[in-house]
């Protein structure tokens, strides 16, 4: 009781302190130093209609590379901690016919929609991360609907690595051609798709990077699910 009361009082004090700070912040007012610059120059400098995408992949692409890495670490970390020589699915019972048939029918639609999201990152809301998560949902559905289902590890792990290598390579090509790491060489040097703004083949390397991120996020989240859903076989040991 005393403990709870003290916790509540402390939280109130912290809340008051934060509120005092927040009062002085002019949120929502016209205080966008860099924000305005992005909105004014985004089309001409990156070719993207979606300003968020341009900021995330072009202007602040370094952060996105970092975020992709964070997800990679999460997946690698889960893999390292749940590592066992032999692992099996632990599902007890088969799903109902409605579930399995429904899953089979839904699968291509979810996959297609995921791919659509990450390919159209420069045009519509979304991008690599939501698209990849959608693709991973399709695999999660397979895992939940079928007792025996397991992804092909020979393909999945190298694919995850390759997508990451692809991202860094695109950045390094930028360093070689344009002189800067992560430089958008397709848009700024080749000027590919300059008359095409607002259509699919535009926006320089954004669709390429988002496709790579989509593949990477999709394989990583699936890998995490795969690791967490499996157990050591009973009585088998190592």
Interaction site with another protein (CB under 8 A): 17-18, 20-27, 31-38, 45, 58-63, 65-67, 69-70, 72-74, 76-77, 79-81, 83, 85, 154, 157-158, 160-162, 164-165, 168-169, 171-172, 174-175, 178-184, 188
**Smallest gap, in angstroms, from Cβ of residue 151 to another protein?**
14
Other Cβ atoms within 10 Å of 235 Cβ, number: 5
* Residue placing its CB nearer to another protein in the complex, 35 or 236: 35
* Residue placing its CB nearer to another protein in the complex, 83 or 148: 83
CB 232 within 8 A of CB 86: yes
Q: Is 85 exposed, middle or buried (0-12, 13-18, 19+ CB in 10 A)?
A: exposed
**Smallest gap, in angstroms, from Cβ of residue 34 to another protein?**
5
Task: Label residue 203 left, alpha or beta by phi (over 0 means left) and psi (-120 to 50 means alpha).
Answer: left
* Residue placing its CB nearer to another protein in the complex, 91 or 162: 162
**Smallest gap, in angstroms, from Cβ of residue 200 to another protein?**
23
* Residue placing its CB nearer to another protein in the complex, 96 or 169: 169
**Smallest gap, in angstroms, from Cβ of residue 82 to another protein?**
9
* Residue placing its CB nearer to another protein in the complex, 78 or 107: 78
User: Distances in Å between the alpha carbon of 4 and those of 16, 27, 105, 111?
Assistant: 18, 33, 51, 48
**Smallest gap, in angstroms, from Cβ of residue 49 to another protein?**
19
Q: Residue 29: CB partners within 8 Å, gap ≥ 6?
A: none
CB 202 within 8 A of CB 47: yes
* Residue placing its CB nearer to another protein in the complex, 51 or 99: 51
**Smallest gap, in angstroms, from Cβ of residue 33 to another protein?**
4
């Amino acid at each position: 009781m005393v403990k709870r009361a003290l916790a509540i009082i402390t939280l109130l004090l912290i809340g008051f302190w934060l509120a005092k700070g927040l009062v002085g912040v002019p949120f929502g007012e016209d205080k966008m130093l860099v924000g305005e610059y992005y909105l004014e120059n985004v089309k001409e400098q990156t070719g993207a209609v979606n300003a968020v995408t341009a900021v995330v992949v072009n202007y602040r692409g370094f952060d996105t590379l970092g975020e992709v890495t964070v997800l990679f670490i999460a997946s690698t970390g889960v893999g390292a901690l749940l590592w066992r020589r032999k692992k099996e699915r632990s599902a007890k019972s088969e799903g109902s016919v409605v579930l399995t048939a429904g899953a089979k029918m839904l699968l291509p639609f979810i996959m297609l929609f995921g791919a659509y999201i990450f390919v159209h990152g420069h045009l519509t809301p979304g991008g690599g991360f939501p698209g990849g998560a959608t693709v991973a949902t399709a695999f999660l559905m397979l895992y939940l609907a079928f007792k025996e289902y397991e992804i092909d590890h020979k393909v999945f792990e190298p694919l995850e690595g390759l997508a990451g290598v692809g991202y860094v390579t695109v950045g390094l090509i930028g360093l070689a051609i344009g002189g800067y790491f992560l430089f958008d060489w397709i848009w700024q040097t080749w000027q590919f798709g300059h008359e095409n703004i607002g259509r699919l083949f535009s926006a320089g390397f954004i669709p390429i990077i988002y496709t790579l991120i989509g593949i990477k996020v999709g394989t990583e989240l699936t890998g995490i699910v795969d690791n967490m859903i499996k157990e050591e076989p009973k009585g088998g040991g190592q």
